[in-house]
Chain A
């Protein structure tokens, strides 16, 4: 089938008005909202940070300077590499992975219970109870953790009142508040893919394994977890990407000495006002996260198309 006849058949099938609407909306989305902006960002990241007057002039040539800066820092840097930026980047990735694993561990029992054990009204009430906190703004949720983990927050004052500690623990500096807040922020995104996957598991398989004498943990490792693999990958991917790309929670809950990589990007745009470098850092974040996710998917043998289902 040639392209032209496909287009003709498409318009025939839908009628001219509807067919044009579909084609126009989809191509607007793909071109103007997804692809061209990404290309513009790549283009920006390959340019020097020039004042407006010199843009388009002879100095406005492509360069890898911004990427070089991410790895090696300023010229004459005694370390030989950009300890600060690469360090922040590495910490962000590791912390996001940690949050993802933590989140999976927290949510798996709940998703399993919701999918296989809870029934009728109980399941419905649980589902509503899971969703309602997500109608509350991300910022407000982070704020709640700030109140709880502050130096005079609920946890510190309770521990002090009980005489367990004398001095307040600085949860914010230790990043405990940040991990708790990030984990909290994405509970729903982890529970529902897991739930969708586990729910379609035939209960008889679990019963059979139990009848054959399998202990509960083996039922999970041999039956439920392998079956739920697409859901697990889907949930973990979303949580990891969102945690690595989170901005509000680290801004509100992050310790003073511990930046998140998105905060560096934010700083390039709003504090140093170096758009090309900010664009380069944004691309580094996007590419690194995507590669990592693809790698993990390859390891667990799950295809990208199964995400989000």
Chain B
């Protein structure tokens, strides 16, 4: 029998493949998360400089990002209300129309999911611009308002997501329950409120969560409809396009931590419920026994608390000074021909530029660039602000762009007491 060994062999292949697949899924997130703790001002894992938490501080201090966050929450609230209401109505409508027109209607209802987000955003802006023009609304009125337009533009396709959630739930609904209620003398509204709505409650919750997440992270539609406002995601995209720095990684760490804890908590709650249905005990102890997800969730929360406590008293200043010294030493060693002494670095912005023309000098390159960057810290100018504009015209300028950014941006960052963090925007 040749079947057995070949099966064993194929299991190995599948195992390796799954491992690779999940490495592809989580590797990038992991690497990004690690860069948030490296004091190097270009997000990187190696060379490792110092453990630092300053990127988190700078993230919270970013006024525009926080403004965007509050706009995002307002928009998400509007989108959740509107799309859940529309999705529910659409689902109820679909279950009631004649079977022959159902397929066509269904196609129309889910078509917004398939339309490119940019198309939806553009169509929304143009339509309301037309409406405002035809009723003579002055520029600045409601129909030109970025938040109003964004809520409508996003709801157009997010309502379709909600519709799918409701349809899935309604498939399991026994419509005889409604008939029974009506026979027993309930009005239509009563039957809906007392029977159908409670049955749909989990779906309403699920649809609301999906709508919130979809709204919060939407970029393609929002970037067209938002006009002069900013949402969190649009602001993050702006930052990433203008120049990448580890505050974005710090943001990712927060998002990943929240997602992880939420996923584990959800898994724990589900598994607990299953065990309770199977007749196992309730209470806190019962919640954690035989429930690895609950234990992991608790561990994750505990770890976050420990890291926070550690972060509060961790001071990387000494380490950074040492790292700077080492780098300068090495720099002198490898670049003896530099005309002026490099040690008091502020006067050497020439060097990073020169390096840019020759990005391929291998690992030394990193050493040099890193060495110069912190040196420019004392410079009072809030450097990143003016430069990005020219770059934004050419977001994909490739490796030179990265290198250059990596070299310059740090200028504002390393000194923990530097005020530029706030002054940038």
Contact = CB atoms under 8 A, between A and B. Distances in A.
Interface of A: 10, 13-15, 17-19, 21-26, 28-30, 32-34, 36-41, 43-44, 55, 106, 109-110, 113, 117, 124-125, 128-133, 135-148, 150-154, 157, 160-161, 166-168, 170, 172-173, 184, 187, 216, 237-238, 241-242, 244-248, 250-256, 258, 262, 265-266, 269, 271, 275, 278-279, 282-283, 285-286, 289-290, 293, 303-305, 307-308
B44 A147 contact: yes
A129 to B, nearest CB: 6
A262 B116 contact: yes
Contacts of B112: 33-34
Contacts of B394: 256
Contacts of B362: 160, 166
B403 A151 contact: yes
Given A34-B156, A151-B359, A139 B42 contact: no
A266 B118 CA distance: 8
A187 B20 CA distance: 14
Given A152-B403, A238-B114, A247-B117, A167 B46 contact: no
B28 A33 contact: no
A124 B267 CA distance: 9
Nearest to A286: B119
A135 B10 CA distance: 32
B304 interface: no
Interface in B174-200: 187-189, 192
B333 interface: no
A180 to B, nearest CB: 8
Contacts of A241: 114-116
A252 B395 contact: yes
B17 to A, nearest CB: 6
Contacts of A304: 107
The interface size bin for chain B is 35 or more
Nearest to B164: A308
Given A33-B156, A138-B219, A147-B32, A305 B107 contact: yes
B92 A22 contact: yes
Contact of A247 (B93, B156, B219): B219
Nearest to A14: B188
Contact of B110 (A133, A254, A307): A307
A18 B263 contact: no
Nearest to A136: B255
B357 to A, nearest CB: 13
A170 B217 CA distance: 29
B244 A146 contact: yes
A228 B24 CA distance: 25
5 contacts: A13-B188, A37-B124, A106-B21, A241-B115, A289-B116
Contacts of A253: 396
B259 A44 contact: no
Nearest to A283: B119
Interface string B10-45: 100010011001101111110110010000001111
A43 B355 CA distance: 52
Given A146-B244, A252-B240, A172 B396 contact: yes
Contact of A151 (B92, B223, B402): B402
B366 interface: yes
Contacts of B399: 150-151, 168, 170, 172-173
Contacts of B22: 129
Given A37-B120, A247-B117, 15 more contacts: A28-B86, A37-B127, A41-B123, A43-B130, A129-B22, A135-B255, A140-B248, A152-B366, A166-B360, A166-B362, A184-B24, A248-B237, A252-B241, A254-B395, A262-B118
B113 A136 contact: no
Contacts of B35: 147
A256 B398 contact: yes
Contacts of B365: 152
B92 A144 contact: no
Contacts of A271: 393
A148 B96 contact: no
B71 interface: no
A286 B115 contact: yes
A139 B115 contact: no
B367 to A, nearest CB: 11
Given A139-B237, A144-B32, A305-B106, A132 B259 contact: yes
A157 B43 CA distance: 13
A33 B155 contact: yes
A26 to B, nearest CB: 5
